[in-house]
Structure 1
Amino acid sequence: MLHLFPYYLALIVVIVLLTMVANKIKVAYPILLVLAGLGISFVPGVPPIQIDPELIFVIFLPPLLYEAAWAISWKELWKWRRIIGSFAFLIVFLTSFAVAWVSSRFIPGFTLALGFLLGGIVSPPDAVSTGAILKFVKVPKRLSSMLEGESLLNDASSLIIFRFALIAVSTGQFIWQDAALSFGWMVIGGAGIGLAVGFVFFKLHKLLPTDANTDLVLTLVAPYIMYMVAESVHSSGVLSVVSGGLFLAQRSHLFLSSTSRLRAVNVWESLSFILNGLVFMLIGLDLPEITADLDGVSLFTAIGYGLLITLVLTISRLLSAYGAIVVTLVARNFITVADTRYPGTKGPFILGWAGMRGVVSLAAALSIPVHLNQGGAFPQRNLILFITFIVILSTLMIQGLTLPYFIRKFNLPDYDHHLPEDEEYHLMYKKLAEETLKHLKTQLETQVNEHPALKQLIRKWEDSNQLLNDELQTSDHKDIYLQMLDQQRQWIRDWNKDPATNEEVVRKHLQRLDLEEERIHYS
């Protein structure tokens, strides 16, 4: 393994260079990385890559899910919970059923159980690809929130289907009662374990004398413990990481200092970038292993099967997107929904077209055992692997490259936030300054009269709504200023309870206050 270390270092350098190229030409970097890995795999002398699925499930998946759970807006997740829930669970099941039916009808040797196995593998869209594409185009907040929320949860539902189908193929039987109980335990147990482990880490941060370094280490360890504890008792490790991550993310201001928060953001962004880059590069590099043996099926025929399943996935997702909107329009007559306005036909199309597949699909396919429990070869394993690769490659190339075009072409209005983000940011900044001035003049009038530096602070805010840039000279002044920053954080969180408030703007202000607090600490 050590002799391959320079090779992996070279891959990381290639990933960085290709990501810069992708940003330059405004293409989602996963597309270039998969194609680059595919090209490198044909270079003579390149060491063969064999991806261990446990490496992805245990090493890669927990931190990627955890980082996504911290980054997502809980307010938006809850606001669009019905649409997100339907895409993450119900539509994943319907898509798996469609794949199972088509594959059992049109692919020789495929039973319905094998079809459900394939459906569980290819049903979840990849969050990283979608996020990388949306970075270059303006998309309404509600659509990005739906896609982010769906991608956070659909891995769990697809892997549950995959597990049940794997048992059915391996044992030759499927008991509905046992499956229902197992499904309930996977969902409820996974979420419960994640919350329990998250609560333990919350108390560790609160009760122990941690600093920025130990806080950061604990955040790095947490997702692995959440995942492994859940998997050890046969519940969903994915749901465990997601629920635990959401629990801690909503309470980060209660147990992390400003230094810890700033360091964690920087470290987690870099870690996620490296992990995602390696995974997509490895997808392309793994092609020789995938095509080694196609169970007697010609390469041309196998590609046709992969494109057929890709077509089924695309049509199923588009129909589901429009169906979810229709159901919401009917349901608004009986229950309260997030938005009662008719969304038109363009929004559901974008939601349905954003269905690129990625790392979870490949990891699930690779985790299929080579042999059955009885000792025979697992049926159609290599063909399932190849179909999965074709689905990943074709969805990245077709939908990934055309999605930005459709988004620009449709020019969807943002119903939820009428003001540009920069303008809303400055308006909130001005409102913060006004509230701070009022608080200083009414609640801290004595301290202001005694300290010239605080008077200067008031004059600066009154004149230009700019935060104080000069160093505060005494610890008393610093304490008051830090108290004001904490008070500003509280006001911002209170304003964030308003559904009309843009949470991205809120996060930018909270980060600005963290940076300001760091400057005061070191002044």
Structure 2
Amino acid sequence: MDVDSILVFVLVTVAVAGMVRWAADRTGMPAAALLTLLGVGYSLLPGPDITLDPDIILTFVLPPLLYSAALDSSMLAIRRNLRTVVSLSVVLVLLTALLIGLGFAWFVPGATLAAGIAVGAAVAPPDPVAALAVGRRAGLPPRIVTLVQGEGLLNDATALTILSVAVAAATGDGFSAPSAVGQFLVAAAGGGAVGVLVAYAVRLLSRPLRGDPMLANAVSLATPFGAYLLAERMHVSGVLAVVVAGLIVGHHTPRAASGAGRLQTSAVWRLVDFLLEGFVFLLIGQQLPEVVRGLAGYDTATVVVAAGITVGVVLLLRPLWLLLTLLLPGVLRPRWSAGRPARLTGREVVVLSWAGTRGVISLAAIFTLPLVTETGAEFPARDLLLFCTFVVVLVTLVGQGLTFAPLVRLLGLHADDNDQARLRNEARSASVRAALVTLDELEAQEHDDIEGHVIDTMREQLRARLNRYRDRLVLLRDNDSADAPVSAMYEAALHVRQVALDAQREELLRWRDAGRLSDEGLRVLERELDHEERLLPDRPARR
């Protein structure tokens, strides 16, 4: 594909991703599923298609997506639920790869155990992007979000390590169970160590760059690529290095970064996610022609059996494993978090089971299979493995993606908005009280350069804010519903603040248009108003 075609595809991707995002926000449909279907439709039209290059995906697309997801995750929440996250991201991935491998070895002519494990490893790790995008809009409880997020961050490292071992066995390098376990442990430990090293290097850089948001943002964008490349050069898990670095950096960002830096970095990463996810899901759909062309040498029965084994194990093993964890002895059963019940409810098991959407990682992984083995023979059933992976991605991404939100609503499983709003307002009140105490201490120190009325003015503003939070807390504590109550006075105050900000902007524009204010001056003053507007909640009823 020439440069002009790639450029056209990029422009079309941005346009289509924008339109799909607009449609998804208004219809509640998952953008990932819509983009994948559009990619399939595009692939059926005459004209060139872009073939997925696994090296580009694994090097340039996967690291920033994983790092951004890790930045938005909670290291503390994942640590509290670590046993469950590990059971899903390590044990379940291993079982999925092994069962699919056995199914191929027993029932698919021409396929070996190693080849079956390779496709099993490729389809084992769920991609949480689509599930979380829909789940957050549907209001999933924080515990379920944490489990899906933690699993999605850690399972790729497990799957890619298993895939490399399976490919080595299939291409004639031999297979040894102790060697495979050792390789996995070294890759995981080494990747984690590299992630910690990179994270603390970023922390050292954050102090001198705290006053320059632009440079801090440049370091943030470079971090996932640095972590991935360093780990890969050391022959350990680059994926795990990126995830660990993102979790640590995200945990320390509130202290290490300035307010301006956090706002800018957050905005940039949201844009990166939007563009990369749009490109990735369109690219998934475009692989249909190449995948189908490779099936010419297989009879229909073989294709159906292979696809049935792969899809069946992926869809059935996950809920069975989640149910099994409920029957484990108390010592082995996952401990979710302090103060929460140890057992998942039936509704939570159903939702977690249906959150196992597969994505571009599965396709990128399976496309890394070599065409020939070390002996010069063709890789066993390679084209069939590509097709099975594509079917799993399509079934889960489109089938589960389109039905996930309706399922969550049907089960009535959603976050307690009232409880979350109450907790946020309690934290706000505590922060204001801490500021008032600090002002009292500052006043007692009798600074000559601080006049008393300055502190008095700030104290009045903080007390007015504290009174608003207390009034809101009374309303939240008296509410028996799980939905946060709507306060007419609160919404009216937000409306008045928005109207005042709009009036200020219009007046600044009139000054600019009349030649009384330069464009540079307008941008400075408008940025001040933008920061004030950024404080206004998007959904006032839930704040």
> Does 2:271 align with 1:270?
yes
Q: 1:30 to 1:368 in 2, by over 3 A?
A: same
- In structure 2, what is the Cα distance between the partners aligned to 1:371 and 1:342? 48
What is the CA-CA distance between 1:208 and the residue it aligns to?
6.1
1:11: which partner in 2?
13
* Contact 1:303–1:390, Cα closer than 8 Å, also in 2: no
1:498: which partner in 2?
none
2:86: which partner in 1?
85
What is the CA-CA distance between 1:23 and the residue it aligns to?
1.9
2:56: which partner in 1?
55
1:223: which partner in 2?
224
The two structures have a TM-score, normalised by structure 2, of 0.81
Written as runs of structure 1 = structure 2, the 5 A alignment for 1:136-285 is 136-171=137-172, 173-207=174-208, 211-285=212-286
Amino acid at match of 2:217: L
What is the CA-CA distance between 1:302 and the residue it aligns to?
2.7
3-state SS, counterpart of residue 293 of structure 1? helix
3-state SS, counterpart of residue 402 of structure 1? helix
1:428: which partner in 2?
427
Amino acid at match of 2:38: A
> Does 2:48 align with 1:74?
no
Instruction: Tell me how large the CA RMSD over aligned residues is.
Output: 2.8
3-state SS, counterpart of residue 235 of structure 2? coil
Amino acid at match of 2:261: S
Amino acid at match of 2:90: F
* Contact 1:19–1:29, Cα closer than 8 Å, also in 2: yes
3-state SS, counterpart of residue 99 of structure 1? helix
Deviation track 1:239-279 (CA, whole Å, cap 9, x = no partner) reads 11111122222222343222211110000111011111101
3-state SS, counterpart of residue 375 of structure 1? coil
- In structure 2, what is the Cα distance between the partners aligned to 1:243 and 1:333? 22
2:352: which partner in 1?
351
2:438: which partner in 1?
439
What is the CA-CA distance between 1:150 and the residue it aligns to?
0.6
- In structure 2, what is the Cα distance between the partners aligned to 1:224 and 1:118? 27
* Contact 1:63–1:224, Cα closer than 8 Å, also in 2: yes
What is the CA-CA distance between 1:211 and the residue it aligns to?
1.5
- In structure 1, what is the Cα distance between the partners aligned to 2:457 and 2:209? 39
3-state SS, counterpart of residue 294 of structure 1? helix
3-state SS, counterpart of residue 293 of structure 2? coil
- In structure 1, what is the Cα distance between the partners aligned to 2:67 and 2:304? 35
Q: 1:208 to 1:121 in 2, by over 3 A?
A: same
Amino acid at match of 2:298: V
Deviation track 1:59-79 (CA, whole Å, cap 9, x = no partner) reads 001111111111101121111
3-state SS, counterpart of residue 94 of structure 1? helix
- In structure 1, what is the Cα distance between the partners aligned to 2:378 and 2:185? 31
2:24: which partner in 1?
22
- In structure 1, what is the Cα distance between the partners aligned to 2:336 and 2:423? 32
- In structure 2, what is the Cα distance between the partners aligned to 1:158 and 1:248? 24
- In structure 2, what is the Cα distance between the partners aligned to 1:461 and 1:13? 45
2:102: which partner in 1?
101
- In structure 2, what is the Cα distance between the partners aligned to 1:269 and 1:98? 38
What is the CA-CA distance between 1:348 and the residue it aligns to?
1.5
- In structure 1, what is the Cα distance between the partners aligned to 2:192 and 2:465? 48
Written as runs of structure 1 = structure 2, the 5 A alignment for 1:376-455 is 376-412=377-413, 419-445=418-444, 446=446, 450-455=451-456
- In structure 1, what is the Cα distance between the partners aligned to 2:215 and 2:455? 35
- In structure 2, what is the Cα distance between the partners aligned to 1:341 and 1:132? 26
Q: 1:335 to 1:200 in 2, by over 3 A?
A: closer
Moved more, 237-246 or 4-13: 4-13
What is the CA-CA distance between 1:17 and the residue it aligns to?
0.6
What is the CA-CA distance between 1:342 and the residue it aligns to?
3.8
* Contact 1:258–1:517, Cα closer than 8 Å, also in 2: no
Gaps of 5+ in 2: 469-527, 533-543
Aligned residues: 471
What is the CA-CA distance between 1:178 and the residue it aligns to?
2.4
Amino acid at match of 1:419: N
Gaps of 5+ in 1: 468-514
1:41: which partner in 2?
43
3-state SS, counterpart of residue 311 of structure 1? helix
Amino acid at match of 1:279: V
Amino acid at match of 2:161: I
Q: 1:463 to 1:11 in 2, by over 3 A?
A: closer
Deviation track 1:149-191 (CA, whole Å, cap 9, x = no partner) reads 0100001001111110000001162023322322221011111
* Contact 1:303–1:387, Cα closer than 8 Å, also in 2: no
The two structures have a TM-score, normalised by structure 1, of 0.84
1:475: which partner in 2?
none
